[in-house]
Chain A
């Protein structure tokens, strides 16, 4: 049996009569950043919800290190994968460090808790929210709140990290630093799945991209191999170009205006 950290096996999901995911089948390797891209309604967030275990697929299954999600308890899942949902909210005026510490929940009752303080501080430092540690989480700006939630996800210290639009509320500097962080996690061996609307950033920071279209995976692989202006133009239904930057040689993806 194949032991990929995370795999979707023929996953299909319907909402009423509408097909949300249609026979999605792919794996995420250890030590890679995989970006899920695609237009609105393509099924990216639904796929992430299925991978996270929030939604059970109608058919097919999700496997974590070769075991199907159904066989794992909530705690076991939480020790394997962390999830950043879209626009996370905190009810009640917890402090930033308390919220980040909630990411340590799956490790309660193990020796890992001895490192809680250290890991919480480190996670806050990684997304530059350490100076906010005693701030009321309800008074943060959108970007600060988003970074706090990312710190909470980091504090969980899992081999699989699922991020749903982590950069959505962030300015360019923090967008870049979050993606750099995703790379760093991958270089330490984690599998990072990022749902993204920023094609250029996805192409640049990911090892592989999975392009979704109408509930299916249209293409998956290295961006320079599987993506092109033509396929993106077709899937997004707007003219998009993809070319090498003349000076840096990096791939650039942008709408044609």
Chain B
């Protein structure tokens, strides 16, 4: 694939996105209800990384404490969750051979959120801080497998059957969450509602650490899928003909998607459509090869979620908007455009 220019574009885009993530993080860290300067932010880092190089006063100590305890965990959560959602979206689309597939559209996110809601509502703590993500993973995985099996069995165009299954699964998960909400103790209700709107406010280093661990495992497991998922674009039969163990690739991919989605959902709630917007944009620029799409979706996902969080904190003064609301506002129209293009084109459901 030498000389086709896509590899070069991918590298440039990668460097650009990395810089973008850094700038957004820096800017986002300095604005909000507690306002700091970019110097404060850099200083807060510098005083940790290179003690003595930066002036330290009572004032800087106070600023540093706020940044490190409140703002930075939130930034870190945004980065980790965004990376997870971007990659989960890319993998889901390849898994279903469908650019409209996305964990929140086809119900994996809401499935995972039922698990998380149950653990929050009943105050489960068998695994300590790991309880909620573990519940989310178990339910997310079960939902992902269910969606796959149902979509396979509906003899319609693949894109249509998948979306129909998504509607049903989302409705079912919505009903389950509503039920959990009704039977939960009053105090737990607020927690469930707030969490469900999707927010990375109130992130702590512990929640960031747990999420990051899940995401890291998911990303490492995604690496060996890069080549097989390219081949899967040939369709199941042809992929098998060139030696791919298709069922194995599918089950590993489904598990990784569930892991990444659950990690994102467990503490940050439902942040929809990131996995739809990000891989789609990346594919338009560098083509569908997973060795480009997966790492770039990770970076772009991180950029989008941190940017959405910046918007969540600054668009309405003194109000911390739910981040999921913003990503859905951006993502739903794009979804409609994609939907239109998918069915308007002669190429049918696969394009």
Contacts and interface: CB of A to CB of B under 8 A. Distances in A.
A75 B239 CA distance: 11
A134 B243 CA distance: 25
A94 B233 contact: yes
A33 B235 CA distance: 27
A98 B289 contact: yes
A213 interface: no
A90 B243 contact: no
A91 B235 contact: yes
Nearest to A91: B97
B230 interface: yes
A193 to B, nearest CB: 14
A250 interface: no
Interface in B268-303: 283, 287-289
A105 B283 CA distance: 22
Interface string B92-104: 0010011100000
Contacts of B238: 83, 85, 88, 149, 152
Given A94-B233, A94-B289, A89 B241 contact: no
B240 A102 contact: no
Nearest to A149: B238
B341 interface: no
Contact of A94 (B99, B230, B243): B230
Contacts of A89: 235, 350
Given A97-B1, A98-B289, A138-B351, A83 B231 contact: no
B1, B94, B244 pick with most chain A CB within 10 angstroms: B1
A53 B244 CA distance: 13
Nearest to A117: B2
B4 interface: yes
Nearest to B232: A91
B245 interface: yes
B233 A106 contact: no
Nearest to A85: B237
B318 interface: no
A102 B290 CA distance: 13
Interface in A71-104: 74-75, 77-79, 81-83, 85, 88-95, 97-99, 101-103
Contacts, number: 87
Q: Interface extent on A, as a size class?
A: 35 or more
Nearest to B246: A74
Contact of B350 (A54, A78, A91, A105): A91
A149 B235 CA distance: 12
A102 B1 contact: no
Interface residues of B, number: 29
A63 B244 CA distance: 20
A124 interface: no
Contacts of A14: none
A149 B347 CA distance: 17
A74, A75, A138 pick with most chain B CB within 10 angstroms: A74
Interface in B1-21: 1-2, 4
A52 interface: yes
B242 interface: yes
A108 interface: yes
Interface in A124-142: 134, 138
A105 B244 contact: yes
Contact of B241 (A82, A99, A108, A117): A82
A138 B241 CA distance: 21
A94 B240 contact: no
A85 B287 CA distance: 25
A10 to B, nearest CB: 24
A95 B351 CA distance: 13
Nearest to B2: A117
Nearest to B229: A92
Contacts of B233: 90-92, 94, 102
A156 interface: yes
B287 A108 contact: no
A93 B283 contact: yes
B234 interface: yes
A75, A99, A105 pick with most chain B CB within 10 angstroms: A105
Interface string B241-266: 11111000000000000000000000
A106 B231 contact: no
Given A77-B243, A93-B287, 9 more contacts: A78-B243, A85-B237, A85-B238, A91-B98, A92-B233, A93-B283, A102-B231, A105-B242, A117-B2
